[in-house]
Amino acid sequence: MDDFLGIIIVVIGISLSIFLYTDSNYWKNEVTVYSLFHYEGDKNTIKTETSLPVTYKALFEQQRVIYWQEGSAPQSYEKCVVRDYKNWKCFAKWSSVINDDEFIMVDGKFSTKKTIPSDDEIVPKWRWWVVRFNEWTS
């Protein structure tokens, strides 16, 4: 019985580790990006909340990237260079007076070069879940 319990604990530990530390879905060519939003709260404190995760699906054959958040319709970047689902670069022009924003995935790590900066911080999945759990319990 003790051996069986030990095996169960090891399997649960490995499963939890895989869940918390992987942001990519190899079989679907997708990477999910988790971010936190920071803003000024009461009494000049900085508050942190989770943003909805964004999933990116790279399409090598079409050289474009589709992205979506839970509860919203998919959108796409058409002006992209795609090597694979973990390595691509896209440009998006939001207005004729603003320069292109760049959206970059290198080895599964997402970054941006935006004309107008945002208050989002890209974080590991485990940290996002810690903040999300805190939101649920407070």
26-60 pLDDT per residue, tens: 567 889 999 998 888 777 788 889 999 999 999 99
Higher pLDDT, 21 or 93: 93
Is residue 109 within 8 A of residue 96, CB to CB? The reply is no
Please tell me the pTM assigned to this model. Answer: 0.76
- Cα 121 to Cα 89: distance, rounded to the nearest angstrom: 19
- Cα 138 to Cα 134: distance, rounded to the nearest angstrom: 6
Q: Which band of pLDDT confidence, cut at 50, 70 and 90, is reported for residue 105?
A: very high
